[in-house]
Amino acid sequence: MKNLLLIGHDANRAGAQLVLLNLMRLLKAEGFQMRLLLGDGGPLLSEFQAICPVTIWPAPDRYVLGAISDKVLGKLGLWQTFHDRQLKAHQQDVREQLKVDSVDLVLVNTVTGSRWFGQLDIPEKIPVVTFVHELDMSVRMYTQPHELAYLLHRTTQLLAVSKATARYYEQQHGFDPARITLYTLIDTPSLERNVQQARQQPNIYESLGLPEGAQIVGGCGNAEWRKGNDLFVTLARQVIGRESAESSTPIHFVWVGVPPGSLRDDLLLDIRKAGLAERVHLIPPTPDVLRYMSHFDVFVLCSREDPYPLVVFEAGLCHVPVVCFDGAGGAPELVETDGGYVVPYLDLDAMSSRVIDLIQQPERRQKMGLRLGQKILERHPAQQSVETLVTLFYQLTRQ
């Protein structure tokens, strides 16, 4: 029986975290013993804790000794010494909780984990597998160069979610392509069940006041510049501006995953000033994503960067065609020419044209949505994926 140490960045309900949760469930069923280190908590924490013991990296103390004592230490030139001693004590406490010296393999899920990995003093003999879900923008946002460099130096095998992701680490970080494995873990059976359950529930759009029969163009994801929430609003302006006056089925745009905050306020201002307040709807993060998505007619992936987004799988299993940007990550590898459309990077004119094509051609729309779902099932069987990983783990721990 193998003992695994897993490192994740938090327990929020987002793509990489959901993949890790699913992976842990499958590994537990395979008989692996695990401990999980997280940088922070979140809505999924209890689900992680139901699988294995979870340690959350302690938040930095505000003071080393106290407000006044710290000032005295600073004047004596001793603050850094006491601070380093305190940090070392935190690190040792976490190492003991995780039983670091007795693990057989470390799996780091996302490069954000590099900030904690480097502080654990992992013995050189222990193999390290790093599962990368990030490209250039996320790497710059969520890592420090020296921390990422150390993690990649210590990585025995790199798991990349798409060809685009693999190319990035090979070309930009000089990682040996012979030690990169293309790997995507999607729990397609569970996703299919969840889609069916969502379809059986009452239409959630009635609460938004959408007219019956409205065409829905959907988006989904966190509220951040990388995800292109602003591009979604501009796209809506272009599509609705080209809407036929004779159309009896108005087009509505719905983005699921925008929480209260400054970005939401900015987006709402644009929406209002563009005269789209009745046609563009921003939904806060919710576990009912599939209740919205299962009624989308078209899914638009406006991300400037997204390695291999889970939302494309969810859309495909809902039989919704996808329109995405070329050069923005791995989605084009799945969408191709039969699961929707791939348009030039940031070409909103091309994207709006393709959206209108799909809205106006229901038979093509349905055919592409069905084909996207078929490709997901063909290329990403969950059991095959976990077997691949289990085989890799045993190979690495025998060396």
Give dist(CA 300, CA 235) in Å, integer.
Answer: 9
CA distances for 229 relative to 300, 305, 349, angstroms: 11, 12, 16
pLDDT exceeds cutoff 80 at 98: no
Give dist(CA 187, CA 204) in Å, integer.
Answer: 25
Reported as a single tens digit per residue, the pLDDT across 212-270 is 888 999 999 888 899 999 999 999 999 998 876 545 678 999 999 999 999 999 999 99
- Quote the pLDDT of residue 302: 96
- Per-residue confidence at 40, pLDDT binned at 50, 70, 90? confident
Average pLDDT, the chain: 86
Give dist(CA 130, CA 155) in Å, integer.
Answer: 6
* Domains of the chain, residue spans: 3-186+381-398, 188-379
Long-range contacts of 225-229 (CB under 8 A, 24+ apart): 225/304, 226/137, 226/138, 226/141, 226/303, 226/304, 226/305, 226/306, 227/302, 227/303, 227/304, 227/306, 228/302, 228/303, 228/304, 229/255, 229/258, 229/263, 229/267, 229/302
Mutual orientation of helices 382-398 and 15-29 as an angle, nearest 10°?
Answer: 70
> Quick check: 361 and 341 in contact, CB under 8 A?
no
- Burial annotation 12-32 (CB, 10 A radius, 16+ → b, else e): bbbbbbbbbbbbbbbbeeeeb
Q: Which two tokens stand for residue 387?
A: 């077997």
Q: Which two tokens stand for residue 84?
A: 């380093």
Of all residues in the chain, what percent carry a pLDDT higher than 90?
47
CA distances for 338 relative to 147, 255, 349, angstroms: 41, 24, 20
Any residues with CB less than 8 A from the CB of 151 and at least 6 apart, and which? 108, 111, 113, 114, 117, 118, 128, 130
Residue 115 has a CB neighbour count (10 Å cut-off) of: 18
Long-range contacts of 238-246 (CB under 8 A, 24+ apart): 238/348, 238/349, 238/352, 239/352, 239/355, 239/356, 240/276, 240/279, 242/352, 242/356
Q: Per the confidence metrics, is the pTM higher than 0.85? A: no
Reported as a single tens digit per residue, the pLDDT across 174-189 is 999 999 988 887 778 8
Reported as a single tens digit per residue, the pLDDT across 277-305 is 999 999 998 888 999 999 999 999 999 99
pLDDT exceeds cutoff 90 at 312: yes
At residue 229, the 3 state secondary structure works out as helix
- Per-residue confidence at 353, pLDDT binned at 50, 70, 90? very high
> Quick check: 326 and 332 in contact, CB under 8 A?
yes
Backbone angles phi, psi at 255, to 5 degrees: -110, 125
CATH 2.40.420.20 fits 3-186+381-398, yes or no: no
Q: Do domains 3-186+381-398 and 188-379 have the same CATH topology?
A: yes
Task: Select the CATH number that applies to the domain covering 188-379 from these four: 3.10.20.30, 1.20.1530.20, 3.40.190.10, 3.40.50.2000.
Answer: 3.40.50.2000
> Quick check: 292 and 218 in contact, CB under 8 A?
yes
CA distances for 74 relative to 63, 66, 85, 377, angstroms: 12, 12, 15, 61
